[in-house]
Amino acid sequence: MSDVVEKTLSALPGLFDSQTGAARITSRLRQLVKSITELTSKHEEESLIKQELSSMKEQVSSPNTSMKQMREIMVRAMYCEMLGYDASFTYIHAIKLAQQGGVLEKRVGYLAVSLFLNEGHELLLLLVNTVLKDLQSTNVIEAYMALTVVAQVFPKDMIPAVLPLLEDKLSEIIRRKAVLALYKFYLIAPNQVQHIHAKFRKALCDRDPGVMTSSLHIYLQLITESPDDYKDLTGSFVTILKQVVDGKLPVDFNYHNVPAPWLQIQLLRILSLLGKEDRSTSELMYEVLDESLRRAEMNHNITYAILYECVKAIYTIHPKAELLEKAARCIGNFVLSPKINLRYLGLKALTYVVQHDAKLALQHQMTIIECLDHTDFTIKRETLELLFRITNAQNVTVIVEKMLDFLHVYEQCTTSYKMNVRCYVPMITLTFAPDNSWFIQTMNDVFSTGGDLLQQDVPNNFLRLLAEGKREEDDQLRLYAVNSYLTVLNGDASHLPQRFLQVMSWVCTTTHTHTHTHTHTQNKNSAMRLIQILVRDLKKSYLLNISVRLYSNFKYHFSSSTLILEGVKRVWGRDGYLRQNETTAPPVDEPSAAVQPSGQQEAAERLEPQPEPSTQNQDKLQLASSLFVGLGAGSSMSLLGKSEAPPPRFRKKPRPHESSSSSSSGTSERSSDSSSRSSHSTTDSFLYGSLLEEEPATSISAFSHTPKSSTANGLAQNKDTKEDRRANTSQILGGDMVIVRPNTFQDKHPSLVSSDLTALLPADLKDLPHSDVISLTSDPSLSLSSCRLFRDEALLLVILISNCTETVIKDVAVQLTCEELEVWNVMNCLEGNSTSVCHYALLMDEPHTNVSFTGTVSYQTQPGHTNTLSFSGTLSAADFIRPLVVSTEEYGKLWLSLSHDVKQNLKLLTDASDPLRTTLNALKDALQLHVVDIIGSEGIVACRLLSGAPCLLHCRVNGAALAMWLRSPHPALPDCILYHCQRALAQH
Amino acid sequence: MIKFLLMVNKQGQTRLSRYYEQVELGKRASLEADVVRGCLARRKEECSFVEFKDYKLVYRQYAALFIVVGITENENELSIYELVHNFVEVLDKYFSRVIMFSLDKVHIILDEMILNGHIVETNKTRILAPLLALDKMAES
């Protein structure tokens, strides 16, 4: 805006307050406005307006009041109503004024009618005759005024009376207004104007641009409703836009030298509706869209407004690569602009286009991160909107964390514009939750901070998900939920929203009735305790209805099961249930450490000094890498010099309602990336991801955090050590770290053990990447678990022997038999409830796909009385494979020197955007390979067996398959690796 | 779609309001107060758009006067921001000589530009033509 205009505009408020030059006729209004302005209280205003209204009442009923005076009264009445005071006694006089006044009075009368009366107001019928008379007036101004009011407010039932007159006006000079009146009729009674569609077309082709513009409102409406019926008009719209863009309109249609910008916007909207999912129609408009992009180079707000619509149109219609590219570049001009309004619109455009191509967000990573930290609520809000659109299984934790941060800061953010950020969190949580604990914790956070502001379908979906699963892991999810509620209720429960308490009571009812497998006792017991607490808390305060419902729910179960009946009796008794239960039920008293809110935990981690030089920029790069992970092959990690997405800590749990919830969030890239995710907001946490088993299905699953025998204190320590380990490894390995991770491992002994025994590993082994702890066997005295640690020079098999009894067990001896070695390990004694560790370094000399080991533990509970306990397990060749870090040249030399080769076609993971890279990464994740290089459709990969034999893999995309050529000095190794590759891809 | 247009001074007093969607008389005052509060809370360096209930507000300040437009999600904020300026330029063009309180005339101008929540005319000459004709007829 020019300075000159700005200056003249600064005088604008004077329009309303000015003391000078006031005409007589407006003096009373001026007086009124002035008095109101000077008042200090609402009360004073009220009495003043009341006074004013009663004096107006007198005036309007006086026979001496002239039309001119009446007009002045009417403006005052408008003012009073504008301030919120009822002046309905003037309505009838407004109609009279329109009927009887001269042109200026008539106009004010019509204006007052349009301001005072809603559609359907009975007084409107009194206006019809006046309108009919004026439409037939020879005075074009009167007819114009009548059309104006018809286009604003008109009784639906009277449309037939006025329609013929309106149609006549379509050929007159004021036809523009007649078209707008028809548009109004179309909106309120579309059937009444069915027959004049031909006249709409005529209006579209009118030589007056104003008439044509008016007809576009009708067409935008019609085309929104049924685009297929108007495809034949595409050419016309394209031609019109072309003429506008080329500046063929009269100069007075320009706004700041831009030709009819709002008209351009309207046309672009129409074109995008027509071209959507229609290739041939889209082809008609490519040229003019290109032209629009090119012309809009002037640096003015309004050109950006046009560009925004243009970009949207290009991404809505059938895609054309060249245009998409130009449009994407164009967005850069917005988001990089120092002008905040442009930046906002750029974010909005980006939010729109990432729904079609999530990778576009990658180009503007740093800008997005800056906007996320922006102090402006609107910018922040729009950025979260954008992140919501690009959420995938890998970045969900970081994005949810950002959203929850936002909700904590803007607690009062109840705006229902678009959708609440509050509702995004559960939506993506339900869809992408990487594991049970995170899922439940996030949902608890959502429910406890403003749960009552959620839409009802959020708790509904959550509860349905919890209720329906019939597998063991679903039971575990429920148990986890119940345990976390116990923790929540241990604190101050008085601030919890009613919605959350409802959810809790419902979950425990459901948990109690829907438990299917052996964990059921645990589940039922926990649910009972929760019920007890809920009933206790609820009874003493609010929410009596919930406790009544709980009671009635469980009363129902009284009759169905005596076991449950007993439980309920105890719930309603005094403390008895709780105390007795502790001996048999799992210790759920101290779940606090297990259910520590992940958000807080991560927040605390961020506060810790980084091992790397932690400049602000570094933080941003790291945030970027975790936010934009999974959006495009390789590109997300490029900022940190990594070329791969982090491995999953947990396999994503398949959720029964994933499809429905993802469809409601409406993004396209949802289905991919289910297997890997970033575990934390910092990249150095990647390694942490390898510490836990990938497949929780039969082994320890998501409950590895739940303490069994350790106290809350002990567990907290355990957490610390893990974090230390994480920091250490990242320091050691730095940016070029090769991720060593375990392969999938089928446990033959499904375990009930859920203790975090990894804490018991010797200190010098703690830093090593390792598998989950799997239970091997147990008897009443001892329980045995094993854990595999992946050392660079060997596989360490750790056997953990826990004494489950209170008494000391003596002379414990462990014998492990394997093909490679045989070791004795003798301990003198094992204290009650303690755990001892034996570890064995294993090497695989000859490649075998799987090897098994067996062993026995002998021990004495009483002197002279020896017990033995045997165990067995399987190790896979993949446990003995390590990445072979070589350069491309070294690889080439080595390749030529190797003798044994195997060729085979493998499955290519074609669902991703970069199949080769995705497939190689999947193999790398599963088998600890080193991807040396990827060139075009070929990739070279290297690994070695622990004993030293290398194996080189040459991979080439061959149609829908991956042609793999393996070479090794060892004849059996390629077959062995091939087997594990096939298996890894099959499981992917 | 445009839901309403307000002209409010810094003290929060409404100078003009036009609703394109029915809002009960009794609820307008509190809605307007909330709108003004929402806009006044914004700092200069923040963008001119802010969420408000079911709407997005686009606001522009001219000295002590705020013009605030409530719009729906599918509207283009920047084009509305410029529409406000176009409106102000029209007002400036019409009132440049005779400065006086004219609630009715501002409404008449606005009705030419926005109808049923849609932008129907942005050509300044054409926006003012009916009003100028009216003035001429009233004079004679």
Tokens 């000094």 locate to A609
Q: Are A192 and A160 in contact (CB under 8 A)?
A: yes
Q: Is B99 on the interface with A (CB under 8 A)?
A: yes
Q: Which pLDDT value is given to residue A580?
A: 32
- In DSSP terms, B70 is beta-bridged to B4, B57
Q: Is the pLDDT of residue A120 over 50?
A: yes
Residues paired with B9 in a beta bridge? B65
Partner-chain residue, chosen from B101, B106, B138, that has the shortest CB–CB distance to A26:
B101
**What is the structure's pLDDT at A419?**
54
What are the distances in angstroms from CA B121 to CA A204, A243, A261, B16, B109? Answer: 16, 18, 11, 20, 10
* Contact between A636 and A362 (Cβ < 8 Å): yes
- A-chain residues near B86 (CB < 8 A): 255
Query: From the candidates A15, A86, A414, which should be mutated to test the interface with B, based on the most B CB atoms within 10 A?
Result: A15
Does the pLDDT at position A36 exceed 90? Answer: no
Nearest to A693 by CA among A682, A701, A685: A701
The stretch A55-77 carries a mean pLDDT of 91
Percent of chain A with pLDDT over 90: 24
Q: How far apart are CA A412 and CA A47, in angstroms?
A: 35
Q: Which of A8, A107, A308 sits opposite B92 (nearest CB)?
A: A8
pTM score: 0.61
Confidence grade of residue A753 (pLDDT, cut at 50, 70, 90):
very low
Higher local confidence (pLDDT), A369 or A722: A369
Q: Which fold has domain B2-139?
A: Beta-Lactamase (3.30.450)
Q: What is the CA radius of gyration of chain B?
A: 15
User: Does B126 touch chain A if contact means CB atoms closer than 8 Å?
Assistant: yes
- pLDDT of A822 over the 50 cut: no
More confident residue, A513 or A982: A982
Nearest to B122 among A5, A30, A255 (CB): A255
Asked if residue A900 has pLDDT above 60, the reply is: yes
Q: Average pLDDT of A932-959? A: 86
Mean pLDDT of the A375-384 span: 86
Q: Average model confidence (pLDDT) for chain A?
A: 73
In the numeric block, the tokens 């998900």 are attached to A465
Best of B76, B90, B113, B124 to mutate (most A CBs within 10 Å, chain A): B76
Cα angle value A585/A590/A594 (rounded, 5°): 105
Q: What is the per-residue pLDDT for A800?
A: 80
pLDDT tier for residue A367 given thresholds of 50, 70 and 90: confident
Q: What is the ipTM of this complex?
A: 0.97
B16/A79 touch (CB, cutoff 8 Å), yes or no = no
Over residues A515-544, the pLDDT tens digits come to 554 455 666 666 666 666 666 655 444 444
CB contact under 8 A, B25 and A416: no
Cβ contacts of B15 on chain A, cutoff 8 Å: 16
- Asked if the model's pLDDT at residue A642 lies above 60, the reply is no
Confidence label for A779 from pLDDT (cuts 50, 70 and 90) = confident
Q: Which of B23, B71, B78, B114 to mutate to test the interface with A (most CBs of A within 10 A)?
A: B78
Q: How far is A70 from chain B (nearest CA, A)?
A: 13
A94 chain-B contacts, CB cut-off 8 A:
none
Cβ–Cβ contacts within 10 Å for residue A241, how many?
A: 22
Higher pLDDT residue, B118 or A9? B118
Check B88 against A9: CB less than 8 A apart. yes
> Which region among A71-85, A268-282, A417-431, A720-734 has the lowest average model confidence (pLDDT)?
A720-734
Per-residue tokens: A498: 């009613």
Q: How far apart are CA B108 and CA A388, in angstroms?
A: 43
**Token pair listed for A110:** 């019509």
- Beta strands (DSSP E) in A818-960 are 822-830, 835-842, 850-862, 865-876, 881-883, 900-907, 930-935, 938-945, 950-958
Buried b (16+ CB within 10 A) or exposed e, B7-39: bbbeeebbbbbbbbeeeeeeebbebbeebbebb
A730 band by pLDDT with thresholds 50, 70 and 90: very low
Residue A963 has pLDDT above 90, yes or no: no
Domain boundaries, chain B: 2-139
Per-residue pLDDT band for A601 (boundaries 50, 70, 90) equals: very low
The C-alpha atoms of residue A780 and residue A941 are separated, in whole angstroms, by 48
- Tell me which chain A residue has its CA closest to the CA of residue B58: A341
Model confidence at A600: pLDDT above 70: no
- What is the mean predicted confidence (pLDDT) over A543-561? 45
Return the ∠ at Cα A795 (arms to A791 and A796), rounded to 5°. Answer: 90
Buried/exposed code over A659-669 (b: 16+ C-beta within 10 A; e: otherwise)? eebbeebebeb
pLDDT of A694 > 60? The answer is no
What distance in Å separates the CA atoms of residue A416 and residue A428, rounded to the nearest whole number? 18
Q: Which tokens in the block code for residue A903?
A: 């060729």
The answer to whether the Cβ–Cβ distance between B78 and A29 falls below 8 Å is: no
What six digits make up the tokens of A679? 């575990």
Between A432 and A328, the higher pLDDT residue: A328
pLDDT at A947 over 70: yes
Most confident among A276-285, A452-461, A833-842 (mean pLDDT): A276-285
pLDDT score of A13 more than 60? no
Long-range CB pairs of A34-39, under 8 A, 24+ apart, other chains included: A36/A83, A36/B13, A37/B11, A37/B13
pLDDT of amino acid B97: 52
Pick the range with the lowest mean pLDDT from A67-71, A202-206, A511-515, A531-535.
A511-515
Question: pLDDT-based confidence at A458, cuts 50/70/90?
Answer: confident
* A836: β partners: A801
Chain A, nearest residue to B101 by Cα = A16
- In chain A, helix, strand, coil percent, each to 5? 60, 10, 30
pLDDT by residue (tens digit) across A316-343? Answer: 999 999 999 999 888 888 888 889 999 9
From residue A602, how far is each of A157, A335, A402, A622, B64 by CA, in Å?
64, 29, 11, 14, 46
Residue A651 reports pLDDT greater than 50: no
- What is the arithmetic mean of pLDDT over B107-127? 96
Length of chain B: 140
The residues, ordered by sequence, that sit 6+ positions from A954 with a Cβ below 8 Å of its Cβ are A895, A938, A939, A940, A941, A964, A965, A966, A967
Query: Are the CB atoms for A839 and A765 separated by under 8 Å?
Result: yes
**Which is more confidently placed, A232 or A686?**
A232
Distance from CA of A495 to the nearest CA of B (A): 25
- On chain B, the residues whose CB falls within 8 A of the CB of A111 are 104, 107-108, 111
Range from A186-195, A230-239, A374-383, A847-856 that averages highest in pLDDT: A230-239
Name which of A499-513, A799-813, A896-910 the model is least confident about.
A499-513
What pLDDT, in 10s, does the model give residues A90-103?
A: 999 999 999 998 88
Q: What is the pLDDT of residue A772?
A: 77
The shortest CB-CB distance from A1 to any of B16, B79, B85 is to B85
Q: A871 or A828: whose pLDDT is higher?
A: A871
Q: How far apart (Å, rounded) are the C-alpha atoms in residues A575 and A582?
A: 12
Q: Do B138 and A103 touch (CB under 8 A)?
A: yes
Residue A744 has pLDDT above 70, yes or no: no
Look at residue A737 in the predicted model and tell me its pLDDT: 31
Strand partners, A559: none
Between A168 and A656, where is the model more confident? A168
For residue A417, give the chain B residue with the closest CA.
Answer: B54
Q: What is the pLDDT of residues A919-930, one digit of tens each?
A: 888 888 888 888
Model confidence at A864: pLDDT above 80 = no
- Kindly determine whether residue B54 and residue A343, on different chains, have CB atoms separated by under 8 Å: no
Place of tokens 């991560």: A602
Q: Which helix (H) or strand (E) holds B75?
A: none
Å from A183 to nearest chain B CA?
10
Give the pLDDT band of residue A148 (cuts 50, 70, 90). very high
Which chain A residues are closer than 8 Å to B122 by Cβ?
253, 255, 260-263
Taking only the tens place, the pLDDT of each residue in B52-76 is 887 899 999 988 889 999 999 889 9
Chain B residue with CA closest to A415: the answer is: B53
Q: How far apart are CA A80 and CA A801, in angstroms?
A: 85
Taking the CA atoms of residue A600, residue A601, residue A602 and residue A607 in that order, the dihedral angle to the nearest 10 degrees is 90
Read off the pLDDT band of A396 (50, 70, 90): confident
Q: Do B62 and A261 touch (CB under 8 A)?
A: no
Predicted local confidence at residue A703, as pLDDT: 32
Residue with tokens 């045989």: A822
Q: For residues A933 and A940, is the Cβ–Cβ distance under 8 A?
A: yes
Closest CA–CA distance from residue A411 to any residue of chain B (Å):
15
User: Mean per-residue pLDDT for A926-949?
Assistant: 85
The larger pLDDT score, comparing residue A637 to residue A151, is at A151
Cβ atoms within 10 Å, residue A560: 10
Tokens at A755, concatenated:
């203790």
Q: Which residue of A has its CA nearest to B42?
A: A376
